Homo-oligomer: A and B are copies of this chain.
Amino acid sequence: MNPNSPQTVSVTVADVARKAGVSKATAARVLGGYGTVSDRVRDAVTAAARALDYRPNELARSMTTGRSGTIGVVVGDIENPFFSLAMRGITDVARQAGFTVILINSGEDVSAEKAAIRTLIAKRVDGLIVSPAKETDVEHLREVVGSGRPLALLDRGINAFEVDTVIADDRQAAEGVTRQLIALGHRHIAYLTACDTPDHLFRTPGDINTGSVRRRIEGFLSTCREAGLGPVERWIHMGAVIPEQTRQIAERLLEGKDRPTAIIASDSVIGLEVFKTSRAIGLAIPDDLSLISFHDADWTAVTSPPVTVVRQPVYQLGEMAARLLVERLNGFAGPGREVVLQTEFVERASISSAPTLP
């Protein structure tokens, strides 16, 4: 169409073969790096390819080999530092293993996740890494496995069927921080999460569809109960999806009559907003309020006071998920594996013994 757009039609093996004076099959052998060819012919074909500026068409190659050299990744939100760091781990491993990565955000929405997976399968990715929005709604994931493609789950497990999974020891971590707070005399601890139920009320951990969060809440609940603490279900606050919602929840919580003396934030985005809100309200951390956040985000180290956090091996989470997937892609066919990476309690200065409330 456009005469001044150069090389609109791409040069193919057939073109190279013609120029080199060999058959298409032979040229393909040289260009594709398979089979056996004589040095003389190899040189001729290579020269012809260079002269014509031949670029292989990976699509056509995938067509016959059945491998696309691509893995699909579905995460909640690449903007979230948790996922962007995990993504870095994934891409590093993938690149080294010779795979490229297609990224799709699900926005933690199951129907978007389904669409994403459908798209990725249509593009014939060789395998998938997914951070499922809900662990109860996983038929589409089962289909992935059913289609013969390996799947690895990132940060969130499911029980419905066996699949490679990489998670952190969330339950244990939550137990640890809760125990710590209780030891400091806290008797009312709030837990804030982005997860939600239709009526925004927490009843049982079964309501929580995000595996990692559910495990944390289980740890939190059991430790509180062990210590004989209050109406612990009501201390769990859901729906902190965006900062604005978090702020509202935190305000309601901290300005209310029976305010908690400690808050556990389920991720760093929530933790940041709680920090801002408590400062805006005029509550001093840690004197008036103790704060612990999951995820050692960069900001947690530079606030005054710096924030005590549960450091998750986020990069390694992504790295390991990719590693497990690549192993499958290379033929490993054993049963589903679950890798649990250790978290680290990073003690800084945002928690102290509970204040005696009026």
Q: Which chain A residues have a beta carbon within 8 Å of chain B's beta carbons? A: 2, 5-8, 10, 55-60, 62-63, 68-70, 77-79, 81, 83-85, 87-88, 91-92, 95, 100-105, 118-124, 146-148, 272, 275-276, 279, 297-299, 301-304, 315, 333
Contact = CB atoms under 8 A, between A and B. Distances in A.
A95 B104 contact: yes
Given A121-B55, A122-B56, A146 B298 contact: no
B6 A148 contact: yes
A315 to B, nearest CB: 8
Of A78, A83, A88, A148, the most chain B CB neighbours within 10 A belong to: A78
Per CB-CB distance, the 5 closest pairs between chain A and chain B, nearest first, are: A299-B299, A84-B84, A304-B304, A79-B88, A58-B122
A59 B103 contact: no
Contacts of A58: 119, 122-124
Contact of A100 (B62, B102, B146, B147): B102
Contacts of A69: 123
Copies in the complex: 2
A163 to B, nearest CB: 14
A102 B100 CA distance: 7
29 contacts: A2-B333, A6-B148, A8-B148, A55-B118, A55-B122, A55-B147, A57-B124, A58-B123, A58-B124, A59-B63, A59-B123, A63-B63, A78-B87, A78-B91, A84-B84, A91-B103, A91-B104, A100-B119, A101-B104, A102-B102, A102-B103, A272-B298, A275-B302, A276-B302, A279-B302, A297-B298, A298-B299, A299-B299, A299-B303
Contacts of A102: 70, 100-103
Nearest to A307: B302
Contacts of A148: 5-8
A85 B78 CA distance: 7
A2 B56 CA distance: 32
Contact of A57 (B10, B95, B122, B302): B122
A121 B70 CA distance: 14
Contacts of A87: 78-79, 84, 103
A101 B297 CA distance: 26
Given A59-B123, A100-B102, A81 B84 contact: yes
B101 A103 contact: yes
Contact of A78 (B55, B88, B100): B88
A156 to B, nearest CB: 20
A103 B104 contact: no
Of A6, A8, A59, A124, the most chain B CB neighbours within 10 A belong to: A59
Of A7, A100, A105, A120, the most chain B CB neighbours within 10 A belong to: A100
A78 B78 contact: yes
A184 to B, nearest CB: 23
Contact of A81 (B81, B121, B147): B81
A104 B101 CA distance: 7
A88 B63 contact: no
A220 to B, nearest CB: 25
Contact of A7 (B92, B122, B147): B147
Given A7-B148, A81-B84, A275-B302, 14 more contacts: A6-B148, A55-B147, A57-B124, A59-B123, A60-B63, A63-B63, A69-B123, A79-B85, A81-B81, A83-B84, A88-B105, A91-B105, A95-B104, A102-B103
Contacts of A68: 59
